[in-house]
Structure formats: C-alpha cells, structure tokens
Structure 1
Amino acid sequence: MAIRIYGDAGSGSLRRVTTAAKLMGIEVERVNVDLFKGESQTDEFKSRLNPHGLTPVLEDGDTILWEASAINLYLANKVNSPLVGITQEERFQVLQWMFWSGEQWRTFTTTMFDERVGKTVMGMAKNDSLIEFAEGKIRAAAKVLDQHLKGRKFMVGDALTLADIDIAAPFSQIDRARFPFGEYPNLMAWHDNLLRSFPAWAETKAELDNRMERFLASVGVKL
C-alpha cells in the first residue's frame, strides 16, 4: 500500500510535506481534502484521520500521523534522509528550529492569514488589534531570522534541512496575507535561494498559487 497524504493543495503545511517527499524521492499517493468545502470537518475524517479536523495527514498502513513536521520526520526516518541533519549537533539544531518555527513563527503568520484572507472570504470583519499583535510577533521573529541568516544559505549547516522547509512555509501566502518579510533582506535572500536552487519548492509554490487563485476567483474575492 502506498503512503497516502491527505490535504488541500492551497495549504502551506501540505506544501511542506509534498516538497520534502519529492526531495527525498518518496512516492506518495495524494488524497485531496477540500478544506474550503469543510471536507476535513466530517465525523468520518475526524474519527479516522485527525480529531482536530486538520490536514495534512499521513496514512502508511496502520500508521496515521498528523502535523506536517511530524510527518516529514517520519518520512525522513524511513529513508535515512540528510534533511534531518548530518551530525548529532545538526540534528538537534534542525529540531530546535522546527520547534521554534511552530511556536514563534508560523502560529502568528497563520493568525494573520486567518484575519486578512480567511475573514475576507467569509465576509467577516477583521480584528485590527489581533493583526497588529500578530504583525509585531512576526517582525520580532523575522529579526531573529534575519540576523541568523546573515552570510548563510541554510538554517543549519551547509545544506537544506527540514528546518528550512518549516520556516519557509509562510512564504506560501506572503502576498495574500501581506506578511512584512520584505523588510528583512537576509530572510528574503535565503528564500529566493530556495526557490532557485530546489525545483520541488518552486513546483509546489506554483501548485499552491494556482489552487488559491482559482478558489478566490470562484468566490469573487480580490485581496
């Protein structure tokens, strides 16, 4: 049975998994879950795949696993991939940045996306105070990244790792949610290098952009 990955092509979290799988040479069976139609909120999805009603979800035989970072670590373990780092020190640094990304980075970009994009789609009023709060947190985190990436091409060591993929994920929605990343030249240069150097990252960007643009056009929303 092939490894199945459930998710929506418009999701930056799914993009992290599909990119990593391509880089590791792991073939996966994609199972589309339309988040905009609420397909992850059904009782069947929650009881069998993820009680939180979120994607992506991995199904590998009897193994069900959710959270993109955990899925990528699972895939990397299957093929002993260097995306987790080469030395023991690098592996711990990769985990450090992956955990940091979840707690200090993506949580606030998700909040801003929900406010600026999600609420626009749903015709709801934005919470300007929440946007201001999230933007402040994003700038604080981006400053740390900008300093760390000075003179570097990668987050850890001299090669791409899962830390880069986790931290690059919010760039998937940079224009739609208007994240202030452009204020940080080292951060922008690092991400530009990822797009140039790794076709898998550019390919999944094109897929995500196409999905989002088609959906927004279908509901008559211009951001």
Structure 2
Amino acid sequence: MTIKIHGDAGSGSLRRVTTAAKIMGIELERVKVDLFKGESQTEDFKARLNPHGLTPVLEDGGTILWEAAAINLYLADKVGSSLAGASPEERFQVLQWMFWSGEQWRTFTTTIFDERVAKTVMGQPKDEAVIAYAERKIRYAARVLDQHLEDRQFMVGNALTFADIDIAGPFSQVDRANFPFREFPNLMAWHDNLLRSFPAWAETKAEVDNRMDRFLEGVGVEL
C-alpha cells in the first residue's frame, strides 16, 4: 500500500519529510493541500487527518500521523535508516536536537515568517515588537548552533541525521522572511554543505522556491 503525504509544496515542514524520504529511498504519494486556499482548515480535513488543521500529514493504511519530526521517525523505523542515529547513543542525541529545534528554533522562525510574509500577503501591519522578540530568540539559539558547528559538518556524528534536517528546515524561507542566519558563519557553512552534499535537499529547495515565488507573484506581493 502506498504511503501518502498530504501537504503544500511551499512548506518547509513538508520539505523535511520529502527530503528524508528521498534519502531513505521511500516512495511517497503526494497529496496536494493548498494552504493558501485554506484546504487544511476544512472540517473534513480536521476530522479525518489533523484536528489542528496543519500539514504535513502521513497516511499509511490506517495510520494517520502528523508533525514532520514524528513522520520522519516513523519512516526511518520502517526501513531501519541511520538518519535516526547510527547507534543508541546517537539516536538520543538526534532526538535531543530534534526536540530542541522544535522548542528553541523553528517556533521563532515561524513567528517571523508569519509577521513578515503572511501578514504582508494579507495586507496586515507587522508587529515590530514581536519580530524583535523572535529575532532575539533566534540569535540566542543560532549562537549555540554556531559554536556547536565550529569543528563539525553534521549536528550528530559524522553523517546526516534528522537533527540536521530539522534544524535546516527554516532555511526554506530564510530569504523571504529575512532570518538573521547570515550573522553566524559556521551555521551558514554547515547549511551550504548540506545543499552541496545532498541533492535531495537542493531539489526540495527548488520546489519550495518555485511554489512560493509563483504564489507571491500571483498575489502581487514583493517582499
């Protein structure tokens, strides 16, 4: 039975799943959910797939799973992938960074995306105080990452893991939302290495960029 993944091509969270699936050699059936048209907010979507009205959502037979990190761990278990860690010790380190990314990293980049991009699209004023607060949080977290990455190419061990994919997720919107990542050279060098070394990450970047650029052009928004 084909594994379905519901999501919008402009989503950095969907990108985390589609990249990981490509690397693991797992074929996914893509089911388009247009977030800009509110297709994840319908009563049917919430009742059948995700009560929060968010994507991506995995559908594997009778298994429904949301949250990109959980989906990736589920897929890795199916094929025994080392993206979840090459040893029990590495696995817990990978989980540590995945949880950290959700709580200390991506939440604040999402806030800035909502203020700078989503509100611009909707014609609403940005809250500069919220942006300043989120940028302070991002810079604090980025300093931790920059120090950690000073003498390494990957977040955990000597190979790509979900820790890298989760933390790299916000780079999907870095140019549109103007996150202050470029202030941190080790962080930028690490991400540049991911783009060079893993074609799947570069391919999904192009997909996100195409989706977002076409949408913004269609609604006449320049950021």
TM more than 0.5: yes
* Residues 1:211 and 2:222 are matched in the alignment: no
* Residues 1:4 and 2:4 are matched in the alignment: yes
- Per the TM alignment, residue 154 of structure 1 is displaced from its structure 2 partner at its CA by 0.1
Aligned residues: CA RMSD: 0.3
Give runs of aligned pairs for residues 148-167 of structure 1, distance below 5 A: 148-167=148-167
Percent identical residues: 79
Give the TM-score taking structure 2 as reference length: 1.00
Partner of 1:47: 47
Partner of 1:20: 20
- Could you tell me how far apart the structure 2 residues matched to 1:176 and 1:84 are? 30
Partner of 1:90: 90
- Per the TM alignment, residue 88 of structure 1 is displaced from its structure 2 partner at its CA by 1.1
- Could you tell me how far apart the structure 2 residues matched to 1:21 and 1:182 are? 28
What letter corresponds to residue 76 of structure 1 in structure 2? A
Partner of 2:103: 103
* Residues 1:57 and 2:57 are matched in the alignment: yes
What letter corresponds to residue 190 of structure 1 in structure 2? W
- Per the TM alignment, residue 87 of structure 1 is displaced from its structure 2 partner at its CA by 1.2
For the residue of structure 2 that corresponds to 1:58, the secondary structure is: strand
Give unmatched runs, 5+ long, in structure 1: none
- Per the TM alignment, residue 175 of structure 1 is displaced from its structure 2 partner at its CA by 0.4
Number of residues paired by the alignment?
223
- Could you tell me how far apart the structure 2 residues matched to 1:86 and 1:201 are? 20
* Residues 1:31 and 2:24 are matched in the alignment: no
What letter corresponds to residue 87 of structure 1 in structure 2? S
CA deviation digits over 1:36-73, x for unaligned, max 9?
00000000000000000000000000000000000000
Partner of 2:175: 175
- Could you tell me how far apart the structure 1 residues matched to 2:84 and 2:59 are? 21
- Per the TM alignment, residue 165 of structure 1 is displaced from its structure 2 partner at its CA by 0.1
Deviant stretches of 4+, over 4 Å = none
- Per the TM alignment, residue 151 of structure 1 is displaced from its structure 2 partner at its CA by 1.0
What letter corresponds to residue 130 of structure 1 in structure 2? V
- Could you tell me how far apart the structure 1 residues matched to 2:42 and 2:168 are? 30
What letter corresponds to residue 38 of structure 1 in structure 2? G
Give unmatched runs, 5+ long, in structure 2: none
- Could you tell me how far apart the structure 1 residues matched to 2:28 and 2:180 are? 34
- Per the TM alignment, residue 18 of structure 1 is displaced from its structure 2 partner at its CA by 0.2
CA deviation digits over 1:155-214, x for unaligned, max 9?
000000000000000000000000000000000000000000000000000000000000
CA deviation digits over 1:3-27, x for unaligned, max 9?
0000000000000000000000000
